[in-house]
Structures are given as structure tokens and as C-alpha cells.
Amino acid sequence: MKKLLINLVFSSLSFIGYSDEAYQKAMTQSIEKLFQATTIPEYVEIANQFERISNIEKTEWLPLYYASYAYIMISFQEPENAKKDQYLDQAQKYLDQAMAIEPNESELHMLQGFLYPSRITIDPMNRGMELMPEMNKSLDKALELNPDNPRVYFLRATMMFHMPEAYGGGAANALPLYQAADEKFRIFKPKTELSPSWGKEINDAEFKKVQEVMQK
Amino acid sequence: MRTIFIILILLIRTSIFAQVQVSGKVTDSRDAPLPGTNVFLKDSYDGATADSLGHFSFKTGIKGIRQLSATFIGYKPFLKELDLDSARTIVLNIVLEELDEQIDEVVINAGAFEASDKKKAVILKMFDVATTPSAQGDIFGALQTLPGVQKVGEDGRVFVRGGESYETQSFLDGMQVSTPYLSKMPDIPTRGRFSPMLFSGTLFSTGAYSAEFGQALSSIVDMKTNSLETEDKSSISIMTVGVMASTTKCWKSASLSLNGDYVTSGLSNVINKQQVDWTKSPAGVDGTLMYRQKTGKTGMFKVFGTFNHSSSGMIYPNTQTGIKQDILLKSSNVYLNNTYNGMLSEKWMIKSGLAWNYDHQKFDLDNDQIGTNQKMFQAKLQFIHNLNEQTELKFGADWVNFSYEQNIRMDGNYRLPFTNNELSGFAELEYKLSKKFATRVGARMENSSLLGETTLVPRLSAAYKTGNHSQFSLAGGYFYQNPENDYLKFAPQLKPEKATHAVMTWQYQTEQKTFRVEGYLKKYADLVKFNQPLATNPLDYSNTGSGHAEGIDLFWRDKESLNLSDYWISYSWINARRNYKDYPVSAIPTYVSEHNLSVVYKRFFEPLRTYVSVTYSFASSRPYHDPNFSGFMNTKTQPYNDISLSLTYIMELFGKQSVVHLMVNNVAGFDNVYGYNFPNTPNAAGKYESTPIKSPFERQIILLVSIML
């Protein structure tokens, strides 16, 4: 009787507590929503969800990674510079927490490299000079930790494509980089179901666009 | 028994499934909704995000007493205990308070302008300094677009708030620079020795500065050299005024940068019509070395070394004596400095440095010769101790050994040497009563072996935040400086000159906008006075001069209101009088103009890939003494006007990133007259004939192409 009660209590506890299964489920759903989000409120909502998950799963870097990613995406949409910086501060905060958990994760260094371009757009003349080297450093580190991280190749290609030819950028210079990114995406297998695996669709689209530009 | 179990299980299950609905609204203290707020039960996944009206609603199966949390960027986290057993629906109105951190802490800044690339909110970035057209790449030139600085076209140095140029003392990483400017020909403007590219920040104080700095009556400029470089890079530049090359090599915790240039205005003097009769176009060689080494976790060791050798020659119409003089100037300068900064413990920081400056200049005036040697050695040691979060104590000492020697060959040989050992100590305590109110109390003691004088002066400042982005500051103190070398060489018995400053500032600053208004009162005492210039008898010199200056400085900078543009406006009003040197009465000195205005406008034209900067400068009339009329300083010049333009075009050259930079000074070709020279004796008709003092060129165009290798 006593044993049974204890069992019951425990089973009910585990029911309201969060099993690994619940974490998997919550994350899967949230990640799906994240990549469907298009507006700032949608991104905020999903970032909030990741923050809640991260509050419980204190040893997981992934919820923080996605929360940070969501805020970077928000910053790209926000028109007001002062707010943009605030959103990026928030993204940086989550990223710093994630880095503290897993300092040698290629994806986190990649995300850091993904955050800088948004900072730069706020004040390109002043911040460009200071942050471009920082960005390169982060991407180099990401590659050092995982030479096959396709998102690093994708980001490098995109930066090259959108940089004016005069600065050494442009479609012609970007094409081989997209090519390389494409190859890396093809062989890429995320470590777990929840690990970052974004970027292939957009790389395909940009790759196509660059090829079209080149044909003209 | 079994049934009881089943019932029990069912009971537990239903109680688990009996969900509670939590809903409500999130607003700020002014009742405005805060959409996007994350409202959730702590340590659970259960929560929701507030919608556009601030409403939220979620269901939870959790029971018992739990913490409800609401978080939103820029607001204090909200926490409340909820008894989830108490009801099936819980409705809450959550009011979030703004975070204190949104309000920046008060900073003591009366009198100071800071240019920095590190901090977010500063008035100027070093990039701004480098691209201000009227500055022509000179740090001191850029400072002349800030309020409180007079336009003195024939000089080029920094004249602050009714003070002469020697009253501004220059520092490099906190260490003194005894010869910050290139050697100067009469009536031809000079410029600073150092390229703005070597620095990551500059602190420019136009009054009431910290006790750390001494031997400056009016102002200090502290240039901070670049920190550890993180990227290998090299570049070469070809200019209409010479060539320049630089390279940087980085290691894990060290970096070395080398810069070299050869500057000659030969070609430029042909392109730009000269109003000066050059016999030898100004030319010079410069070299700079910077080594940075990180030591331990917090230590930074820096070495900075630079040399310059330059020469120029001109025919100078010396109106005073009525003859045309053939002047040849050759000068050599070496400056070395090394500094070490680091944390000794969590609460103690050490800053130390050694500096050495050597300057030699030789004037050939027809058959006469004047050679001047200056040597300076400085050792400085400083400690900063954080007593607690609110209190910081700073104290230190420095020793400056300065020796001067002038050799004159002019109807005989004369030698005018002197040596001075200046020993100083200072202490300063900064105390933050709250995040809104800070005070700083300091004292400085100086002893000069040459003058045999010891001075002890207080420095005080306080700042109070009047709003999220605004603050009010007050500062004041006493300042001593030894008389200029040109007087000390004749009269070493002179005493230090003295100034008293009182400064009151109100500043509004966001990251994009700055407004600043500063009023000041300044009194001078013990200024050097003499009966006639260049008197050789020491007793002709005394410390009986005096003066005063009061004024208002306004500064406005806006980086956001005009699309893609950035502009700043400086305006200064000054009322200054002096009775010093050989003045018979108290008068406005020749370098003072009552109104000074600078407007700097910059914009990047994306489709043209061109960065355009324009400066407009205005200075009202300056007084001068015309011996044809009675009275002293009886006449005024016409006002000064200048429009300067620079274009920076970014492109690819030989597959390398390159910059083309075009600078045009005095685009509109204003014929500015800075003053007049008069002969010592009148002509046959009894009239003193005047010669205007003008810029050496009517208009100046400089083109630069820089290639990153």
C-alpha cells in the first residue's frame, strides 16, 4: 500500500515535472514555429518560449541558441536603430549564457558571427571597421571547431554577395563560396534532431540568384 | 481496496488535469501595454507572451504555490507568488517598472570632450576626427571644430577659452609630450605631429580637468594610442604631398605596427597657388613604431616611438625691420614612450610610464643662426584603488626633467640654457552618492627646481543627473604652469603663471544626439609681463600680468534626424581681456574673436560609394594694434570664413580594397586676413605701412589614394 502510494506520487510528479521526452517535444514544436515565424511579435513569442525552456534546462545550450537566433532575426526587421541595439543586447545575453554552458560549440561561434552584421548595419562607417574583424574571428573559430559547418560557408557567401564589388565583394566572388556552402549543406547531418540545421533553403535560393545574376 | 486505489488514482489524475487559467494584462507605470512580455510560471514551460494590447492568457496543470514571472527587455523582472490551488481562473494586472540600467550612470564630464571608439556614447569618434575636412587629418585641427577653441589661422595650434596655444598641454597615453606640433615658420600655420590613425580615442578638456594633469593653464589633450591589434594588415598611400606606408603584424598576445612617410609640398605648392615665397618647399620624413604586449590577464604593455625630420625655407618679408629675410628651418624630433597598465589585485590598478622627447630646431636667418635643443624625460606612477562600489581613489606622482638650450649667432654668440626638474604628486577621490550624484575631490602639488616654487592646488567637480539622458555638472580648480621657454631662458627667476577655472555644464545625450551648453569663468594671475619683447635683462620680466575670460560654449550633434547624415554645430561666445607681455593696458588679445562657429556635415552616398564631409567655419573680427591710430589694440580685422570639403571614395584597385580621398580647403576662396604686421618706424610720409597676415595658400587641394595590401 505504502509502496504503491509512493509509486503513484512519483509517477504523478514525473507527470508534472519535465521528462526528457517533454523537453524533446517542446523543443521540436518551438523550433518548428521559429522557422515559420515572419513578424516581430511571432519571433518574440517564440523567443519567450525558448527562454522558458532554458529556465528549466539549465545545462542545455540549444534553447538559448534559438532564443538568441530569434532576437537576431528580430533585429534584422526592426527599423529603429536604438531598439535594434536593445534586441541585439538581448540576443547577446542569451548567446553569452549558451557559451558559458558550451564554449566549444561551433554553432554558437557561428551565431556570434551572424549577430555582428546586424550591429554593423546600425552604423556601418564606425562599427564596420571595429566589428568586421570580430565577425571574422568568430567565423574562423566556428570553422576551427567544425570545418564542415555549412552555415559558416553560407554566411561568408552572403556577406560577399552583398558587399559592393568595389570592396572586393559581388556575385562573381560570392559564387564559389555559395558552391562550397551548397556542398557542405548536402553532406551535413545535424548531431541531434534538435541541433541547428537551418540555412539550406535560403542558401539554395541565394545560390540560384547569384547564378542568374552571373548569366546575365 | 482496489476500488479505493482506482478512485485515488482518478482523483490524482483529475487534479492533475484540472487546469488553471492564468490571464491578465501587462502595462508599464504609465498604463501603456507592453506587448511581447514573457509571462510564465517559474521552472515550467507554462506561460504566454503578451499580445499587442498587453493581454496574456495560458493554462497550467501545475498545482500548489508557484512563482509567476514577467520579463520584458528594458524592464525590471516581475515576480509574484500564485496559489494555483485557490481558483480555477486567476486574473492579474502586471505593472512593470523600467530598469535602472536604462538610465546611464552619472559621469563627471564638465569641461571635457571625449572621442573614443570603445564607448557607445561619446561626442566624437576617431573616424570623425580623421574625416573632418577643415582638419586635414590633424587631431588638433579637428579639435578646432569643437566649442571653446579659437580660430587662429596663422598659427594652427589649439587656443582655448582666451588662452594662448602653450596653455594647452598634450599627453599620449597619459604621458607628457613636450613638442606636440611640428616646428613653425613665422605666420605659417603648423599642425600636430601624430596621425589620428594611431589613436583609438582622445580626451580633450577645455577647463577644470582632473588633478592627474598639471602644467596646463587652459586645457589638456590626452591621446590614447590603439590597443592590441588583432589583424595583420598593410597599406600604402600615394598623395599629392608624398607617400606613406604602414604595416601591422599580430601574434597571440602582441602586435607590432610600423608607419613611415615622406611628405613634401613641392608638387602641392605648384597646384595650389602660394602666397608665400618658398625657397625650399616644406618636406619631412616620419617614422612611427608601436608595440603592444598583453601580459597576464589584465596587463598591457605599450611602446610608442616616433621620429621626424623636416626642413623648409622661405623669403619672409619682415615688416618690423623692413627687410626681406631668407629663412631656412631644419628640425629633428624623437618621441619615445612606454606605459604599463594592469590590475594588481581585484581592487588595485597600476598605471606607469616613461617618456622621452628630444627636439632640435635650427633657424638660418640670412647670416644669423638660432639653434634650439629641448630634452624632456618623464617618469610617472599612478595607482587606482576601488575602495567600494561608490568610491574610487586615484593617486600618483610624476617627475619631469626638462632641459633647454638656445644658441644664437647674431652679432656675437649667445647661449641661453636652463634645466628644470618638476616633481608632482596628486590624489583624487571620486565618490558616487547615488547613481545620480557623483563628486570628485582632488589636489595636486608641484615643485619646480628652476623656479624654486612649490604650489598646492585643489580641483573639484560634481555631476547630477537631471533625467535619463541629461545631467548637470559643476567643476573648478586652480591651475599652474611655468612661463614659456622663451621667457624662462632670459628670466629663470619668474614664478609659475596661475589660472582659476569655474565651469558649469548641462548636457543631454543619447547615442544619436548630443546637446551641451557650458558656461565658464576664468581668471589669470601672475602672467609674464615685460617692457619690450626679447629683452635680455632678467629684471625686465615680472609676474605682474593678469587677465580674465568668460563665455558660453554650445554644442549640438545629431546623427539621426537628417537621413543618412551626421552633423555637428559648435558655437562659442567669449569675452576676454589681458594685461600681459608688453601690453600698456588691459585689452583683448589678438587671437581672440568674440564669436566662433563651426558646422560639420557628413553623409555617405551609397550609390556613389562616396563619403562627403563639409565644414563651415566662422570667426568674428580679431583686434590688432595699428600704430597709425591712438590707443592700444584699436582696430579689428574682417571676420573669418572658411568652407572646406572632403570626398572619400571607396573602390577596388588592382583587386585590392582602396580609398581615394580628396580634400579641398577654402573652397569658396575667401580672402581671410588674420591680422597685420607693422614696421617699427614710419615711412617718409609719417605713415606705418601695414602688411596683411594671410594663409600661405588661397585654396588647397590634396589628393590621396590608399591601397590595402
pLDDT digits (tens, 9 = 90+) for B471-490: 999 999 999 999 999 999 99
pLDDT of residue B117: 56
- Put simply, whether A133 touches B (Cβ < 8 Å) is yes
Q: What is the mean pLDDT of chain A?
A: 86
Domain ranges of chain A: 24-140, 148-216
Closest in B40, B74, B117 to A52, CB measured: B40
The domain at A24-140 falls in which architecture?
A: Alpha Horseshoe (1.25)
Q: Minimal Cα distance from B655: which residue of A? A: A168
Task: Please tell me the distance from the alpha carbon of residue B209 to that of residue B216, in angstroms, as a whole number.
Answer: 10
Dihedral angle computed from the Cα positions of residues B662, B663, B669 and B673, in that order, rounded to the nearest 10 degrees: -160
Q: Which residues does chain B have within 8 Å of residue A82's beta carbon, measured at their own beta carbons?
A: 510-512
pLDDT per residue as tens digits for the range B509-540: 887 788 999 999 999 999 999 998 888 899 99
Secondary structure (3-state) at B75: strand
pLDDT of residue B8: 45
Q: Minimal Cα distance from A10: which residue of B? A: B12
Q: Minimal Cα distance from B708: which residue of A? A: A167
Task: Please tell me the distance from the alpha carbon of residue B705 to that of residue B227, in angstroms, as a whole number.
Answer: 26
Secondary structure (3-state) at B683: coil
Task: Please tell me the distance from the alpha carbon of residue B587 to that of residue B523, in angstroms, as a whole number.
Answer: 14
Beta-bridge partner residues of B326: B315
pLDDT of residue B108: 65
Query: Which residues have a Cβ under 8 Å from the Cβ of B103 and sit 6 or more positions away?
Result: B435, B465, B468
pLDDT tier, B564 (very low <50, low <70, confident <90, very high otherwise): confident
Closest in A15, A123, A136 to B16, CB measured: A15
Mean pLDDT of all residues in B358-376 = 95
Neighbours of B558 (CB within 10 A): 16
Closest in A18, A137, A164 to B45, CB measured: A18
Mean pLDDT of all residues in B376-388 = 95
Closest in B46, B51, B604 to A125, CB measured: B604
Q: What is the mean pLDDT of chain B?
A: 89
- Put simply, whether A53 touches B (Cβ < 8 Å) is yes
Contact A67, A47 (CB under 8 A): yes
pLDDT of residue B307: 96
Q: Closest Cα to residue B265, out of B318, B313, B198? A: B313
Question: The whole model's pTM is what?
Answer: 0.78
Q: Minimal Cα distance from B649: which residue of A? A: A166
> What residue ranges define each of the domains in chain B, with the CATH number in brackets?
2-102 (2.60.40.1120), 112-708 (2.40.170.20)
Q: Where are the alpha helices (DSSP H) in chain A?
A: 2-16, 20-34, 40-56, 62-77, 81-101, 106-122, 124-145, 150-162, 171-187, 200-215
pLDDT tier, A13 (very low <50, low <70, confident <90, very high otherwise): very low
Q: What angle do CA A117, A123, A124 make, to 5 degrees?
A: 60
Say whether pLDDT at B676 is over 60.
Answer: yes
- By DSSP bridging, strand B453-465 and strand B437-448 are antiparallel
DSSP code of residue A199? T
- Put simply, whether A87 touches B (Cβ < 8 Å) is yes
pLDDT per residue as tens digits for the range B90-140: 898 999 987 755 455 666 676 677 665 555 555 677 777 778 888 888 889
Among B107-121, B220-234, B275-289, whose mean pLDDT is lowest? B107-121
Q: Which of B38, B53, B612 to mutate to test the interface with A (most CBs of A within 10 A)?
A: B38
pLDDT tier, A79 (very low <50, low <70, confident <90, very high otherwise): confident
Say whether pLDDT at B506 is over 90.
Answer: yes
pLDDT per residue as tens digits for the range B66-77: 889 999 988 888
Q: What is the DSSP string of B537-558?
A: -GGGEEEEEEEEEEEEEEEEEE
- Put simply, whether A129 touches B (Cβ < 8 Å) is yes
> What is the grid cell recorded at B232?
595583420
Answer yes or no: do A126 and B35 touch at CB < 8 A. no
Q: Which residues does chain A have within 8 Å of residue B231's beta carbon, measured at their own beta carbons?
A: 133, 136
pLDDT per residue as tens digits for the range B630-654: 999 999 999 999 999 999 887 877 7
A105: alpha, beta or left, given left = phi > 0 and alpha = psi -120 to 50? beta
Neighbours of B479 (CB within 10 A): 29
Mean pLDDT of all residues in B569-594 = 96
